[in-house]
Amino acid sequence: MPNTNSRHPDLLPLYPIIYEKSVRRALSEDLGRAGDITTDAIVSLEDTAKAAIMTRSHGRIAGIDVAGSAFHCLDPRLGFEIMLHDGMDAGPGATLAVVHGAARPILSAERTALNFLAHLSGIATMTRDIVVLAHPARVVCTRKTTPGLRALEKYAVRAGGGSNHRYGLDDAVLIKDNHIVVAGGVAEAIRRVRRRIGHLVKIEVEVDTLEQLASALNEKADAILLDNMTPETLAEAVRMTKGKAITEASGGITVETVEAVAATGVDLISVGGITHSAPALNLTLDLSFS
């Protein structure tokens, strides 16, 4: 039986303030101007129900508290009992949570709750699968996230056993190819950045040749993003770096290619697909009237 009293020990929960606006916005989008006219016509105010959120496929869970928030936004009196917490794995037919109380808000919040839970669990599941293949390299996400949902999607990556890259443009420096073009070279780009940033800010540089890598290492960059390199070139880049900087492989990496990339010895592997292309976990809400 699942432990219903604790979440995954390595996964810190999100504060509700991080996701409540997104949940309310999604509910408002669904309810529109007149509310749930189907449910309101068929279900009376006095009807009560019990509903189980269940999986139809194997997956890693993420977003269970977000799903609960969708129900509580419509009726704070609803009971929401979590059976499997974020960061845990579930098979087909597993009950993730049970919601009970007034039937109308349960039915009206159903799709919003399942949309968040299925999407975030899909990210966590794909991340989990790639993390296993990438070991011992760490898998990190990117900024290729759904607008407005970055904090939730990056949380789902953590639930899948992955790690987060920078959250935005303000928490770390990543000098990319177009920056290098404007600056006239890798070295000058790093020098310009170093004159402007604080002493606690890390500098990562994207390179696509070994010549650029040598220049970045000479300027003592903290991390090197090795962009769209073959496994052979990645292995040579790791040898050149020799622990002088963190190495990160990036560029179109998939479930099919990640093992070969990890075998080169890079420290990190960034995979945009875990947030922008993960298929949703197949979920259902099974309701019975009480």
> Which residues are tagged catalytic?
111, 144, 176, 206, 227
Instruction: Compute the distance between CA of residue 276 and CA of residue 274 in angstroms, rounded to an integer.
Output: 6
Give the contacts of 264 (CB within 8 A, at least 6 positions apart): 231, 234, 235, 237, 238, 249
3-state secondary structure the chain: CCCCCCCCCCCCCCCHHHHHHHHHHHHHHHHCCCCCHHHHHHCCCCCEEEEEEEECCCEECCCHHHHHHHHHHHCCCCEEEECCCCCCEECCCCEEEEEEEEHHHHHHHHHHHHHHHHHHHHHHHHHHHHHHHHCCCEEECCCCCCCCCHHHHHHHHHHCCCECCCCCCCCCEEECHHHHHHHCCHHHHHHHHHCCCCCCCCEEEEECCHHHHHHHHHCCCCEEEEECCCHHHHHHHHHHHCCCCEEEEECCCCCCCHHHHHCCCCCEEECCHHHHCCCCCCEEEEEEEC
